[in-house]
Amino acid sequence: MRIGFASDLHLGFGTGKRKQDATIQAKRAFKELMSQDVDVIVLAGDVFDTPVPRPEVFRDAAQVFRLTKSKKNNFPIKGYGRDSPDVNGVPIVAIHGNHDRRVKGDVNPTQLMDIMRPLIYLHNDGVLIGDTGFFGVGSVPESYSTKMFANLDAKPFGERSFFIFHQDIVPQIPFSRLKWSDLPYGFTYYINGHIHAPKLTKNQLVVGSTVVTQMKPDEAEKFVWVWDQGFEKVSIPSRPLHYLKVDANSRSPSEILHEIENTLSKIPSGNEEPMVRIKVVGKLQDGFRSSDLIFQNETDLIVSFNKNLEGGALSEVDLKQMNLDDLAISMLKKVLGERQLNLDALKLYNYLLSGDESRVWKLLEESQ
Ligand SMILES: [Mn+2]
């Protein structure tokens, strides 16, 4: 059996020139996997970029998933803690990520795709396809992750087994709560989505995203994976990504902008307009403030402009040491405390994140 892996398709991501990037990349990933003659495709979360996608995004998803219909399913499929789905075409096994997660009881878009049958959605359950077991656990807020895995009753099944999840994890994300050793014991392979830079360590695979989202240098190259007794990394094309780090070097904003414009003018434009992430660091000439450095993109390039200058507000906090969920919850707690509101910050955060207005109102009412 040959098994294909892709993750973090983020269907629906992007605006402007990048509006179709996620769909284009997802199609590239599926076409590559189908040409690799895989028998199963695993998606390790964040199939969708938002918990409530627009109909156009569902159309794009349907076009991507339909690519698996060019080959027949050759294996019996048996549910493990769920029904046994019947599938024509290469089965797609998927979990939700933090982007397409909703609160318990509500339907998330990846789950909806199971009901409509383009894919098999797993959350605390599994499927046996031929002799291979797949157990999936969709993303939970990072603050719950260790507790959730400690209480999870997941045992390997099948000749070989894949445990699929979507969380921050050490050492790939330093300072996260979860470690690989916290995961249920005994699976042959552990497959994580969420982290957009791919990495294989023994039987632990971080799949990596198919689309560039944050324009970080380590997500410039895009891959899918094929397992056939071992993992093979297969490159897929992607819009070029350039990284430009500029040291302010006690110069004035206009001198710095001049250097940036000069460098940008040398970047060749190909079939797909390149992306450029610019980061200005260091110290401006005395008398200038960070807010004096304003970049306006007048090129055809897709530019993300960032500055982390000495004396700027963000440089006081080491964001690398903070998990985003924790940071948000602690800020929320502080604000609630200041306003003397007796609310469960964690609940409120999760409801807000899932866009669940009715639960937010209920929580507010209960607090009075
Ligand atoms: Mn993601």
**Given 217, 236, 255, which residue is the final one in a domain?**
236
Q: Give distance in angstroms: CA of 159 to centre of ligand 1.
A: 30
- 209 and 140 in one domain? yes
Write the CA distances from 216 to 14, 30, 105, 195, 297, integer angstroms.
15, 24, 35, 12, 19
Who surrounds ion ligand 1 at CB < 5 A?
Answer: 8, 46
- 177 and 118 in one domain? yes
- Mapping DSSP onto H, E and C, the string for 51-64 reads CCCCHHHHHHHHHH
Q: Do strands 275-282 and 241-247 pair parallel, antiparallel, or not at all (unpaired)?
A: parallel
Q: Give distance in angstroms: CA of 344 to centre of ligand 1.
A: 27
pLDDT tens series, the chain, 368 aa: 999 999 999 999 999 999 999 999 999 999 999 999 999 999 999 999 999 999 999 999 999 999 999 999 999 999 999 999 999 899 999 999 999 999 989 999 999 999 988 999 999 999 999 999 999 999 999 999 999 999 999 999 999 999 999 999 999 999 899 999 999 999 999 999 999 999 999 999 999 999 999 888 888 999 999 999 999 999 999 999 999 999 999 999 999 999 999 999 999 988 899 999 999 999 999 999 998 999 999 999 999 999 999 875 544 455 556 678 888 888 888 888 878 788 888 889 988 888 778 888 888 887 76
Q: Give distance in angstroms: CA of 314 to centre of ligand 1.
A: 24
- 52 and 86 in one domain? yes
Among the listed residues 127, 49, 123, the one whose alpha carbon sits nearest the alpha carbon of residue 92: 127
- What is the C-alpha separation between 85 and 342, in angstroms, rounded? 45
- 220 and 100 in one domain? yes
- 152 and 45 in one domain? yes
Q: Give distance in angstroms: CA of 47 to centre of ligand 1.
A: 8
- What is the C-alpha separation between 225 and 276, in angstroms, rounded? 26
Containing domain of residue 273, as a range?
241-316
- 146 and 122 in one domain? yes
Q: Give distance in angstroms: CA of 325 to centre of ligand 1.
A: 14
Q: Give distance in angstroms: CA of 265 to centre of ligand 1.
A: 32
- 298 and 230 in one domain? no
- 286 and 264 in one domain? yes
- What is the C-alpha separation between 19 and 4, in angstroms, rounded? 26
> How many folded domains does the chain comprise?
3
